[in-house]
């Protein structure tokens, strides 16, 4: 289902189609006998993305890292290119780290494009981890070296860009989640109404056709099948039906 080039709008659109199919495959007993809001929450919790939240218990941090790099021959000054690659050239970078609460959807969120974006940078400039977002700033390399003021400005800008990106992604997530909840509830209500109408039709036909209607095995009387699946937090609501 997931395409790396999707934006949030298209992602939620595809997600709704998937959820609709799953709802329509549910048994009549499950649809009729389950509270609509309770069943909506079941599917919503199963599919809705979690917004990114900054971890207030941990501080934003930065670090300077020195490393050795290989400078390719074609990137060297013209009068040195014939000498080949330059090995073990001393470089330096600053890493800024913004701590976030663990988010199992972070890889998916990182790849989804937002409806609004900046032309000066991309969210692909950052490293997205389950509990942190980091940005790397090259401060010393072949042919350049930042002074302290320049480094301080770059660190500040990187922090601002991360915060802006989080806000944009969360805005699209909150919008998508709201539409997802509304859509799930509508699909369940519509499906439930169709089932009720169909049952009313069968009742009417039963009175007109002088042949006994085949009795379906009730949901509660069906044999239990043991499925060896890992334990999950989401538990499907149990339908409440008359005998």
**Domain-embedded: residue 188:** no
> 208 lies in a domain?
no
DSSP assignment string, 197-222 = HHHHHHHHHHHHS-SPPPPPPPGGGS
CA distance 124 to 165: 10
Q: Would residue 222 count as lying in a domain?
A: no
φ, ψ for residue 30, nearest 5 deg: -65, -40
Exposure string for 181-217, b = 16+ CB within 10 A, e = fewer: bebbbebbeebbeeeeeeeeeeeeeeeeeeeeeeeee
Q: Do the bridges between strand 132-141 and strand 61-71 make them parallel or antiparallel, or are there none, so unpaired?
A: unpaired
Q: How many structural domains does the chain have?
A: 1
pLDDT tens over the chain, length 243 residues: 444 458 999 999 999 999 999 999 998 889 988 999 999 999 999 999 999 999 999 999 999 999 999 999 888 888 888 889 989 999 999 999 999 999 999 999 999 999 888 888 888 889 999 999 999 999 999 999 999 999 999 999 999 999 999 999 999 999 999 999 999 999 999 999 888 887 766 776 676 676 666 666 655 555 444 455 555 567 778 777 665
Residue 213 forms part of a structural domain: no
Structural domain span for residue 73: 61-175
pTM: 0.77
Q: Considering the domain boundaries, does residue 78 fall inside one?
A: yes
Residue 238 lies in a domain: no
Provide DSSP, 123-166: GGGEEEETTEEEEEEEEEETTEE--HHHHHHHHHHHHHHHHHHH
């Amino acid at each position: 289902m997931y395409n790396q080039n999707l934006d949030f709008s298209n992602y939620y659109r595809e997600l709704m189609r998937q959820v609709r199919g799953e709802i329509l495959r549910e048994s009549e007993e499950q649809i009729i006998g389950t509270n609509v809001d309770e069943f909506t929450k079941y599917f919503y919790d199963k599919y809705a993305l979690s917004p990114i939240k900054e971890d207030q218990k941990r501080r934003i941090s930065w670090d300077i890292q020195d490393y050795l790099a290989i400078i390719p021959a074609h990137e060297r000054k013209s009068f040195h290119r014939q000498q080949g690659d330059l090995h073990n050239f001393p470089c330096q970078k600053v890493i800024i780290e913004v701590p976030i609460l663990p988010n199992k959807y972070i890889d998916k969120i990182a790849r989804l494009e937002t409806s609004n974006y900046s032309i000066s940078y991309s969210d692909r400039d950052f490293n997205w981890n389950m509990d942190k977002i980091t940005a790397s700033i090259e401060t010393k390399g072949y042919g350049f070296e930042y002074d302290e003021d320049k480094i301080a400005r770059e660190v500040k800008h990187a922090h601002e860009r991360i915060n802006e990106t989080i806000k944009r992604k969360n805005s699209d997530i909150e919008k998508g989640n709201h539409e997802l909840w509304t859509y799930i509830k509508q699909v369940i209500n519509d499906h439930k109404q169709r089932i009720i109408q169909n049952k009313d039709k069968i009742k009417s036909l039963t009175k007109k056709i002088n042949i006994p209607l085949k009795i379906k095995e009730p949901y509660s009387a069906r044999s239990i099948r043991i499925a060896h699946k890992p334990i999950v937090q989401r538990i499907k609501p149990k339908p409440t039906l008359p005998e």
